[in-house]
Structure 1
Amino acid sequence: MKSEFKGARAFLMIPPSISRDKDLLKKPKSIILMGEIISMLNVTGNFHMSNKTLADILDTTPKSVNDWLNLLEDKGLIIREQITIPAQNPKNEKSKRILGRTIKAGPNLVTQSLLGWERQGSRGGNVDVSRVVTPTSHKHNSINRSSNITVNNSSSAKKEEDPEREKIYQDLFLIVRASDKAKNQSTRPSLDEIKQMRSLLYKCSLSTLQATKDKFKAQMEWDMVGKPFAYLLKLLRDGLSTERDYESESWG
């Protein structure tokens, strides 16, 4: 029988963008808390340690822990979900028993290159978000560090990410998150879907990306999509194909 995960024993996983966040630095223990969460997500895929246990670890009160969790959720770094037993009377939702809560990776933890796996200066970089990290992610990290050296040496001018494209990319995840919240579920893309989306993000024009976002949002609000990220990829591919057809016709 596997022993319960009681927190990191060697190192906490705290990405630089979190450790340097100005809002979190005003409440430093929220950064340590995020490190505990990421470390458990890396092992289990979910974080289920109670606020009381966390308060003991961080030498604080459960109320302070809850305040920090609110801050982390407001910043889109985590998503909290209640663990309940279904109501005996379906018409009386209040009869549901709440057993506790679990924490999952939020959209901003997923979409930002928090762990250094996105190749800076390359369009369509790779971000491993099959959880937040995977048990073998150190291999990907080593490969991408080598890629960084190659990219940096081969280009004298470092290309920066396009803020407009990155904003649309984050908005797409927020659309899925809003739908998940309404349905009390959690939908996450596969690593391959993330790679394809990152690539298409920089191949499509901004007008195509915006049109795709608008259509995706409408379809999600109408609850017409079974697999959001697969459908989103189809929209992006169709948009890119339309662009190329138009360019081909324009050039004769």
Structure 2
Amino acid sequence: MKNRTAPEMNRSLAIGLRVGAIAAAIAISGCAVAPPPIAHTPNVVATPQPGRLAVSVAAAPTVGEVTPVYVSIANGTDAPRSVVPSQIFALNEAGERVAPLPPGEAARQAGSAKELQGAIQSAAVSGIGGAAVGAAAGAVAGAAGSGGGWGFGSPGAGALIGSAVGGGMGIIRGAEKGQSRADQQANQQIEALSLKPEEVRKNFTVSGYVFFPKGQYNQVEMLLVDRETGDTEVVREPWH
């Protein structure tokens, strides 16, 4: 039986330290989950006021290339109003109207911001499985060892190298899955929180997000339809 030389032992120790660092990173990140694209959603909505229409607007922090704006409309009048999200506009300093993004497009543009971090964190979970499989394969190769030309020298060294390779491949595959899952989560959340086309009856309140391209705005303009007369009512609120 051939004795291991000092360089071989040092090389195996170095590999072990590297693999240990990878495993530690996986263990730390493995418990993380993808954060939502909109970190905080408000719970306060407009309150119906007798004889008038109450509207509140609150811009959320920009996510990726999208600025979510929380809109709440409370109807204190006898005439129902129809809300059409596509007829809510952001006004820039030149007074130009900027149309909102459809929820699907907003999800695509916003999904690359906070969700990217979630994808990397999710990747570590999938990477654990890859490391385990790689370690097993490396141990088998190490057993074949010097006679088979693998050059690992021992099952232990083969397992260490296999862990590193398997863990790396697992993290790459996990990153792809994590990004896909993160994008799906972003799309689902944005769709669920978006303002829907609906009728606001007396003393009813509707609320939800409208999404605009990132930019500098000072007002929000919305066109509401009076269901009784068919007339269009223009409401403007400061950008907050």
Does TM, normalized by the shorter one, top 0.5?
no
Structure with greater strand share of residues: 2
Structure with greater helix share of residues: 1
Q: Which has the larger radius of gyration?
A: 2
TM-score of the pair, normalised by structure 2: 0.23
- Which has the bigger relative contact order, CA under 8 A and spacing at least 6? 2
